[in-house]
Amino acid sequence: MKASVCFVFAVVCWFAAQAEESPKILTLSKVMNELNKINQGMNKRTTLNSPTINDLEDCCVKSALDCFRAKVFYLSVTDAKLKRSQKIISHELRKSVIVSVSDLCNVLFQKAQCKSCDSYKKVDSQTFVQNFQTLLQKVSSKRS
């Protein structure tokens, strides 16, 4: 009887964990989908400051996402659907559902030397989007 109670408890815990992760996964998927749309239709001549994976410490991921969120509006798009994609990305990242910062990370963040958005190297639009996608994939791999 105790074994079956433990099994049921484990299953309930697993479902609870999955339910907590699903909003993050949905948000992440939505952002990646909208970013792919922009990547296919943007003017590649714009240069933007862009964090890269090599620039980041784990506790700077939130500030890097904030940088991408702020700079996504500077991507050169003319199509109304792509402008809507920019708004969706900004809105979804503002919800802060993707990155939940632990107490340990809050302590580390105070010690981490996270760069300001404007201090990152300027890159072309396509590289900016690739760096953004790489960071989202990194966040996704940590959440799955």
Higher pLDDT, residue 136 or 2: 136
Q: Tens digit of pLDDT for each residue in 26-37?
A: 888 889 999 999
| Residue 54 burial (10 A CB sphere; 0-12, 13-18, 19+) | exposed
In this prediction the pTM is 0.74
pLDDT of amino acid 15:
45
pLDDT of amino acid 59:
73
pLDDT of amino acid 95:
74
Closest listed residue to residue 86, CA positions, set 94, 74, 97: 74
Closest listed residue to residue 131, CA positions, set 44, 34, 65: 65
The yes/no answer on whether domain 23-143 falls in CATH 2.30.130.30 is no
Residue 8: pLDDT above 80?
Answer: no
What are the angstrom distances between the C-alpha of 25 and each of 31, 48, 109? 10, 27, 24
pLDDT of amino acid 109:
53
Domain limits, the chain: 23-143
d(CA 57, CA 116): 13
Closest listed residue to residue 85, CA positions, set 101, 99, 104, 72: 72
Q: Give the tokens for residue 68.
A: 């991408």
Residue 139: pLDDT above 70?
Answer: yes
